[in-house]
Each structure stands twice: as C-alpha cells, then as structure tokens.
C-alpha cells in the first residue's frame, strides 16, 4: 500500500499523526452515534423523530411559524420540513392555519397534545450540547469553534 501523499510528492504521515487523525475520525463517529441513539430513544418512547421534536420545540419556543422559518430554525430544507409537518399533523401534534391577512400564507401551530409533548420530552441533543457548552470558559468555546470550523471547511459543509 502506498502511504498517503507519496504519489503526489508529499512525505508520508508519521505513525503518530495517523493515529491522531484516526482518533479524530473516531470521535466524530461517536458524535454521530450519539445523535442516532438519541433519535432512536425519542422514537421509541414518544413516537417522534429528532427532526420532528426539533420542529415541535421551535414552535413551542417561537409560537406559530411558516414552514420556511421552521426549516431555518431546525436547519433543514423547506421540502424536508413539509414531510416533517405532514407526519406531525397526522399524529395530531400540529395543525396548519391560514393567515387572516393573506389566505395564501400558512402557519404551523402546536395543538394541545403537541404543546404537552414539547413541554415534557427530553431536550433534543442540540440543547444538551448547548447546556454542556455553557459550562466551558470562553477560551475553550473559541477553541472548539475554531476546530469545528476547520472540520466543516474540510468537508465543504455549506451554511
């Protein structure tokens, strides 16, 4: 096997560097697994997915919103949020309401059962992270932000 970089004239990575890179990838995988575990637990206990709970929480926090604003709050495409809203509506957690000023505009509103679910379910993993990050000092937060920005840049993740 040809060491990384050798075919383009770069020196091969020292074993120690490769081990550190492997550990970074492993830790990223652990973050992904934590999200998957959290989603499965939510689905099992409350019959909602993490994106559905994020939608409920956005509505609980902000009140009725148009689908496009929900998409911005929960970081998904508008087309994705339509499916999320459809499933939540089928479960009786949200309802679509038309604006009284402009009947073309639709807002999504929590039902009583949606409000109850949003108030009693465990926080989405993002809120758990938010609470944990609050415990860190400013320097630690900026260090994490810098490293995550580098990683997302390497993956070419867009806003």
pLDDT for position 4: 43
Question: Do 25 and 51 belong together in one domain?
Answer: yes
Question: Do 132 and 86 belong together in one domain?
Answer: no
3 domain-assigned: no
68: domain range?
A: 18-121
Question: Do 148 and 91 belong together in one domain?
Answer: no
Per-residue pLDDT band at 3 (split at 50, 70, 90): very low
11 domain-assigned: no
Q: What is the largest CA-CA distance in the chain?
A: 67
7 domain-assigned: no
The torsion of the CA quartet 15, 148, 26, 19, rounded to 10 degrees, works out to 10
Question: Do 76 and 147 belong together in one domain?
Answer: no
Question: Do 107 and 135 belong together in one domain?
Answer: no
Distant-in-sequence, close-in-space partners of 85: CB < 8 Å, separation ≥ 6? 55, 67, 70, 94, 96, 108
The torsion of the CA quartet 73, 150, 157, 132, rounded to 10 degrees, works out to -30
Question: Do 148 and 111 belong together in one domain?
Answer: no
Over the stretch 84-103, which tens digit does the pLDDT of each residue have? 999 999 999 999 998 778 77
Over the stretch 17-60, which tens digit does the pLDDT of each residue have? 888 888 888 988 998 898 888 888 888 888 998 889 999 999 99
What does residue 75 show for φ and ψ, rounded to 5 degrees? 60, 50
Look at the chain and report how many structural domains it folds into. 2
Which whole number is the average pLDDT over 105-124?
90
The torsion of the CA quartet 82, 87, 92, 94, rounded to 10 degrees, works out to -20
Question: Do 135 and 111 belong together in one domain?
Answer: no
Question: Do 85 and 146 belong together in one domain?
Answer: no
pLDDT for position 153: 86
Question: Do 80 and 137 belong together in one domain?
Answer: no
Question: Do 42 and 64 belong together in one domain?
Answer: yes
Rounded-to-integer distance, Cα 59 and Cα 81, Å: 13
1 domain-assigned: no
pLDDT for position 63: 95
Question: Do 94 and 31 belong together in one domain?
Answer: yes
Record the pTM.
0.67
Question: Do 156 and 111 belong together in one domain?
Answer: no
pLDDT for position 12: 62
For the cut 50, the answer to whether the pLDDT of residue 125 exceeds it is yes
């Amino acid at each position: 096997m040809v060491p990384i970089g050798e075919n383009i004239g770069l020196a091969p990575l020292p074993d120690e560097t490769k081990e550190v890179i492997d550990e970074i990838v492993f830790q990223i995988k652990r973050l992904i697994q934590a999200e998957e575990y959290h989603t499965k637990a939510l689905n099992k206990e409350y019959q909602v997915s993490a994106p559905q709970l994020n939608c409920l929480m956005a509505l609980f926090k902000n009140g009725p919103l148009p689908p496009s604003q929900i998409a911005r709050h929960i970081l998904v495409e508008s087309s994705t949020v339509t499916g999320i809203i459809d499933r939540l509506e089928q479960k009786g957690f949200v309802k679509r309401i038309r604006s009284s000023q402009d009947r073309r505009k639709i807002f999504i509103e929590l039902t009583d059962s949606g409000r109850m679910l949003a108030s009693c379910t465990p926080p989405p993993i993002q809120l758990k992270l938010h609470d944990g990050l609050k415990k860190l000092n400013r320097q630690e937060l900026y260090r994490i932000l810098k490293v995550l920005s580098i990683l997302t840049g390497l993956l070419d993740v867009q806003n």
